[in-house]
Structure 1
Amino acid sequence: MSNLARELQHQQQQRGQENVRPSKAKDRSTFWLTPGEKLLGLAFAGMVCYGAIQMISNQSQIYQVNKDIQQVQTSIKEQQKVNGDLQVQVSELSSYERIRDKAKKMGLVQNENNVKVVQEK
């Protein structure tokens, strides 16, 4: 039995040494991430960068549209002011007294029989 026991003991020691050696070699050759995980990480990073660029692009377009809207609103306000001034001028120029004075200067005479009253709605 001593011969057989020594032989078994020797084989077990060799197996133990064989198990230890490959595990160290595997530890050296294994990477933290597999190639598939690296690919997925790279794809995710690319998607994040693309999304960030899209967001910045959209914000710049929104800014430009808002700027254009403000310019149009400013020009509308200016045009409304001009229209209001012109409306006041029309009211002043179309007053009855002014028209009567212009007619007298041109030599027209008011005839009560030919006057027709026009009402505005």
Structure 2
Amino acid sequence: MSSLARNLQEQHSQQRQQAAQPERRKALRQRVTPGEKLIWAIFAALLFFGAVQIVSAQSEVYKVNKDIQEMKASIKEHEKANSDLKVQVKELSNYDRIMAKARELGLMLNENNVKVVQ
């Protein structure tokens, strides 16, 4: 009986040890609540919206810069054309050329009818 008593005593001591040890709970997976999902969805939407706004703003800046460059090129072309026309006006308003053209058309220079204006 001593072995039976010993077995019972060991079982009681094992039960006490098991009772003394806290039960190990399985680690619960932290689940994402619907509120957190909503917050993350709103954050993602705002992030996407901000990215789209930045890209569209950069696109507009690029377009305006391109228009500015085209206008500068157009202005340079017009300035060159104007300077060429000024040179042509100077060449055509040469006194000798005007006199030759006047004689060709039958006009004569009368020194008595010439008045000098200052």
Structure 2: distance between partners of 1:59 and 1:117: 65
Identify, as 1 or 2, the structure richer in helix: 1
Partner of 1:8: none
Partner of 1:61: 60
How many residues matched? 100
Partner of 1:99: 98
Deviations along 1:24-59, one digit per CA (max 9) or x if unpaired, are: 48x64752x332222112111110111001111111
Q: Could you say if the C-alpha distance between residues 107 and 117 of structure 1 is closer, same or farther in structure 2, counting changes exceeding 3 Å? A: same
Structure 1: distance between partners of 2:117 and 2:79: 29
Once the 2 structures are TM-superposed, how far is the Cα of residue 73 of structure 1 from its aligned partner?
Answer: 1.1
User: SS of 2:56's equivalent?
Assistant: helix
The question of 1:47 aligning with 2:49 is answered no
The question of 1:82 aligning with 2:81 is answered yes
Q: Could you say if the C-alpha distance between residues 101 and 76 of structure 1 is closer, same or farther in structure 2, counting changes exceeding 3 Å? A: same
Structure 1: distance between partners of 2:74 and 2:29: 71
Once the 2 structures are TM-superposed, how far is the Cα of residue 75 of structure 1 from its aligned partner?
Answer: 1.3
Partner of 1:109: 108
Unmatched runs of 5 consecutive residues or more in structure 1: 1-12
Cα RMSD (Å) of the superposition? 2.6
Q: Could you say if the C-alpha distance between residues 29 and 82 of structure 1 is closer, same or farther in structure 2, counting changes exceeding 3 Å? A: closer
Q: Could you say if the C-alpha distance between residues 60 and 70 of structure 1 is closer, same or farther in structure 2, counting changes exceeding 3 Å? A: same
Which shifted more, 47-56 or 37-46? Answer: 37-46
Q: Could you say if the C-alpha distance between residues 20 and 35 of structure 1 is closer, same or farther in structure 2, counting changes exceeding 3 Å? A: farther
TM-score after normalising by structure 1: 0.68
Once the 2 structures are TM-superposed, how far is the Cα of residue 74 of structure 1 from its aligned partner?
Answer: 0.7
* Paired-residue identity, %: 53
Structure 1: distance between partners of 2:29 and 2:62: 53
Quick check: which has more Rg, 1 or 2?
2
